[in-house]
Amino acid sequence: MNKKPLLLLQMGEPPREIAAQVGEQGDWFNAALAERDYPINIVRPDRGASFPAYTDVSAVVISGSWAMVTDRLRWSELTGAWLREAYHAGVPMLGVCYGHQLLADVLGGTVDDNPNGLEMGLLPVTLTAQAKDDALLGAFPARFSAYLTHLQSVLVPPPGAQVLARSHIDGCQIIRYSDRVLSSQFHPEFTAETMLACIGRNESALQQLGRDIDEMRQLGEEPIWARRLLLDFVNRFA
């Protein structure tokens, strides 16, 4: 029996130097999900691609981006409108980084520059008390590491949404909008190579912030619990 594909909305593309080293968002998600037995349909809204019918996809993953939600780019706004309709249609969705912010924005939250500044590296994420009863997060440890790189954040979650995780400088690391829709500010699809490419591109900015670049590059073990959020979501709905 043919399975409906998982829809990956690739929100733009990385800077050339990052893409040359580690590829694009679609490559990262394909690699992260390589051992799973279901088709993945990559759609590029930034290139004017049409959105499929809600009934033709099993679930939706919205990728990160080098754009900003507050730029109000036409392709992003069109994506947001489609996501809002998909949410009300009951389509399972997982937003990641930019996708996390875009979902929060279109569902009534507030997204803007994080007043605490740039968050980047392999950093700890802490679950809230509500997470222990969550269908996907109930078995997670109270604290785990994740790859992060962003300037903007969800400053105010949408009405009725549950904040399920925080970090030191970001109060909305995981948001639950419904039993089928959630999002994460961190990158469950990243590998160490992807994170290192992002650190390298931002080296000057990080040095100006007083960050120890050599220390940041010592990433340690892969953040398996962050990756599990993506895998468990897809296993449940795709």
Say which of 97, 100, 172, 198 is annotated catalytic.
97
Mutual angle of helices 25-32 and 224-237, in 10-degree steps? 80
Bridge-based pairing of strands 93-96 and 59-62 is: parallel
Q: Work out the angle at residue 110's Cα, subtended by the Cα atoms of residues 78 and 197, and round it to the nearest 5 degrees.
A: 75
DSSP assignment of 110-145: EEEE-TT--EEEEEEEEE-GGGGG-TTTTTS-SEEE
Q: In whole angstroms, how far apart are CA 38 and each of 5, 35, 57? A: 7, 9, 11
Do 160 and 187 form a contact (C-beta atoms < 8 A)? no
Q: What is the CA radius of gyration of the chain?
A: 17
Q: Token match 């962050």: residue?
A: 226
- Catalytic residue, candidates 100, 172, 187, 198: 187
Residue 187 annotated among the catalytic residues of the structure: yes
Nearest by Cα to 108 from 175, 42, 48, 46: 175
Catalytic annotation, pick one of 13, 119, 189, 198: 189
List residues with catalytic annotation: 97, 187, 189
